[in-house]
Amino acid sequence: FADPRKGVACAAGLYLSGFFGFPMCCFHFVIDSHVPGGIQAGVERMFTSMLSLFLFHSGAQVRLGIMGPSNACASLAQVFIDIEMAEMMDAFLQGIEVTAETIAEDLIKSVGSGGTFLDQDHSAEHFRSEMWLPRVFKRSNPQGKVGVDLDKSLELAKERLRAALLEPVARPLSEDQEKEIDRILASATKAIVG
């Protein structure tokens, strides 16, 4: 599933479909790793997702939490890692907003060469929208522990999973609607099974 040659074949199919004028739908790029949060899972998910963006010029179809081999595994913790990765790609795809407000030409002139923007209201108003702040991945210094695996992404993803599982679940259907669905299913089952 994560074979780079699959991406080459997909690109060839995409260009052939354009040449012959028939549609080709985007297909899912998935991963072969069966270990959530591992190096292989991260590399394969990012590679195949970015390849999907490159080939199809549209949103990547990340199969949240679905893992290999052959889609035989799934991980709820990996779902949160995949969400973080998708948010990272989305932040990249947003690009840079260029307006009179974001350029702040007058402010640049007033601060001048050698000045600082850190104490300016404009910086305080805009810097958070220009930064992507991860919730699972961490940006921290190793604090002298070179060579020690300090990656806590999987543990943080599991914490987010536990918090999500503890949240109350909204009931999108009324009790009467749920009973009606149960009645329809029972009727269909009886008709099929006999």
pLDDT tens-place string over residues 174-185 = 889 999 999 999
Could you tell me the pTM of the whole model?
Answer: 0.66
**CA angle 146–92–16, rounded 5-degree value:** 115
Mean per-residue pLDDT of the chain: 82
| pLDDT given for residue 177 in this prediction | 92
| pLDDT given for residue 25 in this prediction | 64
Residue 151 has pLDDT above 60, yes or no: yes
CA dist., res. 27 & res. 30, Å (int): 9
Residue 126 has pLDDT above 70, yes or no: yes
* Of 28, 29, 36, 26, nearest in space to 65 by CA: 36
Q: Per residue in 61-73, pLDDT tens?
A: 667 888 887 778 8
CA dist., res. 189 & res. 176, Å (int): 20
* Of 77, 69, 84, nearest in space to 133 by CA: 84
* Of 79, 85, 76, nearest in space to 43 by CA: 85
Q: Mean of the pLDDT values across residues 2-26?
A: 80
Q: Mean of the pLDDT values across residues 51-70?
A: 73
